Structure 1
Amino acid sequence: MKFSELLPIGTVVLLKNAEKKLMIFGVGQTNETEHVDYDYIGVMYPEGNMGEGTQFLFNHSDIDQIFYRGYEDEEREEFINRIQKMYDEHEKN
């Protein structure tokens, strides 16, 4: 996985075959029940988090359209570099 290609949190997207936009609020997520990794977790836009069952895991390939790209700065770049390094080291082992 190339974390540098991930969209920043705050990005608003529409998934393929979806009618409702989602806002990304996390990257590099794991479904602990199924032990499956996903690129993103999002909530409905503009409603936001409305409790259990309103958070959606999805991958970059599921995105049909990007409406707004979230905030990026040096801190995010450092974060992406750190998680990429951790992921690469985990893959070696």
Structure 2
Amino acid sequence: MEKDQTLLPIGTVVSLNNLNQPMMIYGRMQTQNGAESIWDYVGCPYPLGFISKEYNVFFDHKQIEAVLFKGYESPQEQELSEALSSELARFRNKDV
């Protein structure tokens, strides 16, 4: 994730590099099966939605090719997104 960039809101639909199926973001700052690394996002295939955990796609912001639809951004969402983005930046800087 780029410095000073906030995470995209829940409900955002994106296309990813090297993946033909659009993905809808439904989680941010996610771990995969208890791993120590944190992914920026977890998504599910769009328009199918969540099928099972086997269909989850974990990805980072740099893997996004295009934003096809941006999710709803309330004042609470903006506040949470900024807080999560700051926490993610702290976590990543700690690992450097």
Could you tell me the TM-score, scaled by structure 2's length? 0.78
Higher strand share: 1
For residues 51-62 of structure 1, the aligned pairs below 5 Å read 51-62=52-63
Q: Residue 53 of structure 1: SS of its match in structure 2?
A: helix
What SS does the aligned partner of 1:9 have? coil
Which is greater in Rg?
Answer: 1
TM-score in terms of structure 1 length: 0.81
RMSD: 2.3
Residues 3, 83 of structure 1: 8 Å contact kept: no
Structure 2 portions without partners, runs of 5+: none
- Equivalent residue for 1:23? 24
Compare 81-90 and 48-57 and name the one that shifted more: 81-90
Runs of 5+ consecutive residues of structure 1 not aligned to the other structure? none
Q: Is the 8 A contact 1:4 1:80 kept in 2?
A: no
The aligned length equals: 92
In structure 2, distance between residues paired with 1:21 and 1:8: 16
Over 6 Å off, 4+ runs: 88-92
Q: Deviations over 1:48-74 (max 9, x none)?
A: 011130111000011111110111011
